[in-house]
Amino acid sequence: MKDALGSVQSVLVLGGGSDIARATVKALVADRARTVTLAARRPERLDDLALELKEAGATDVRLLTFDADDLDSHPAFVADAFAARDIDLVLLAFGVLGDADRTRVDRRATLDLLHTNVMGSVSVLMPVVERLKAQGHGTIVVLSSVAGERVRKSNFPYGASKAAVDGFCSGLADFLQGSGVHVMVVRPGFVDTKMTAGMDRKPMSTTPEKVADVIVAGLRKGSDTVWAPPPIRWVFAALRHLPRALFRRLDL
């Protein structure tokens, strides 16, 4: 349960190795979260983060193996993650960007990207939702992207995967109204992370720490959707309604 000041006390992070996940869980512990479960394909790589969280005030940090691509393992994984305690917040932070030059033309590469980002997300969210409903409370935070707001030609397989996850979670949020379970969709723009290392920075680029600040602020407000940075919302609102003939001519 949240504490008397409205801060979450227990967190499960799916994709604990991502830079945004790291920054967000640090911000949550700074905001009085005390028990943390970090799940990743190679959890041994999160030992440094676990130590840092304990030094920052977390009383219990657990590491679990989680493979987004191994769909059949997800129900048992979720049962294990929830076995020891109630969980106030589940952060879905895994995903792959893919090589745009390859995924635009390579069937196998595109299917692999969609499998991880879309099927992996849906597969693990379904049992998570059932657990949170059984608890009667909880929040799911999903890292989407502005790429899903209107899919652009430069990396349309990745954009399509984010549009699918974003749409699924937006509908899920409406479906769960009144259940005690809240879903917040996060739409960052270009974020300086190891995933985007080597890529040209875009206008309104941001950092994992600033995305984390937006997430924590959104949780306090009970927001359904947040953008990082917040003003990028208006840029993509304009792009969303741009006539297609003009949209195609943009170098996006």
Q: Which residues are catalytic?
A: 158
Size of the chain, expressed as the number of residues it contains: 252
With H, G, I as helix, E, B as strand and everything else as coil, classify residue 23. Answer: helix
* Cα distance from N-terminal residue to C-terminal residue, the chain: 43
- 54 vs 230: CA distance, rounded Å: 31
Burial class of 245 by CB neighbour count within 10 A (0 to 12, 13 to 18, 19+): exposed
State which H helix or E strand residue 186 sits in.
strand 181-188
> Which residue type sits at 70?
D
- Coil, strand or helix at 109: helix
C-alpha distances (whole Å) from 46 to each of 13, 21, 51, 124, 251 are: 12, 11, 9, 21, 38
Torsion, Cα of 15, 19, 22, 26 (10° steps):
-150
